[in-house]
Amino acid sequence: MRRYFETSRSHTYSLLLAIPLLLLYEAGAAWVSTTQKVPLRNGADVLLRALLSMGGIHTTVGFTVVLVVAAGLVVIAEWRRKRIARIEPGIFVGMLAESALYATLFGMVVGTATQWVLTGGGLHLSAGTGVMGTLPRSEGIVLSLGAGIYEELLFRVVIAGGLFVLFRSGGLQRTRSGVFAAILSALAFSAFHYIGPYGDPWELSSFTFRFLSGLAFSVLFLVRGFGIAAWTHALYDVFLLLARGG
């Protein structure tokens, strides 16, 4: 079991697990756009595309290629450094099962924490599906997959990771840098859900839930890696959507 947790935490397994999620989302978004004539994109996806467009990357194919190539370079660098002998498919099965377990428990744990923070009680809360819950199920599932891959990439890898590096370069101690980066990225993550055409009306309970969710995803990202954090996020959103009959 220890070997599984060490191996699955590596960049190689984490990024290779995330690539199918990326491709599923892109294929789903393309299918919705083609069959239903609806341009469908997760908000974090749109923001990252806008940033990359400043560097001359304007197409979906180009954007996806940049992400896959970047992931590939990280994997190659790790292989050279750690001399990983081979890829074990069984590890990926375990990682998906682990993500499904976390996704199943996520709403209950964070919802209880939210209620405790707000009232000191123990009632269950969830963030709800917001405007996404009014969309056709196929569109909601596609956006859920996009939330997993792109919101984790934006808020955990780019923002939390970037803030951590910034704080460390400013001389702040490692633990404090991590805590401050996690808190600020969680605040940004929560606020992000109230922006744009798919944004929710602001409520203290849902904002608190999403803030605590952001902290939980940050811990999951640090402890178990990007791949499991992304799949947990995506599966939680899908499970919630299906449970509510979206």
Domain ranges of the chain: 2-243
pLDDT score recorded for residue 165: 92
pLDDT score recorded for residue 216: 94
Q: What is the pLDDT of residues 85-128, one digit of tens each?
A: 678 999 999 999 999 999 999 888 887 887 777 776 544 445 55
CA dihedral angle for residue 204, residue 206, residue 211, residue 217, rounded to 10 degrees: 170
Phi-psi region of 124 (alpha: psi -120 to 50; beta: other; left: phi over 0): beta
Using alpha carbons, select from 120, 92, 114, 103 the residue that is nearest to residue 227.
Answer: 92
pLDDT score recorded for residue 246: 52
Quick one: pLDDT band at residue 134, thresholds 50, 70, 90? low
Average pLDDT over residues 3-16: 91
Instruction: Please state, rounded to an integer, the average pLDDT across all residues of the chain.
Output: 86
Alpha helices by DSSP H, listed for the chain, are 2-8, 11-35, 43-53, 60-82, 89-119, 137-146, 161-169, 174-192, 204-224, 226-243
Is the four-CA dihedral 169, 171, 174, 176 of positive or negative sign? negative
- Rg of the Cα atoms in the chain: 18
What is the share, in percent, of the chain residues with pLDDT greater than 90? 48
Q: What pTM does this model have?
A: 0.86
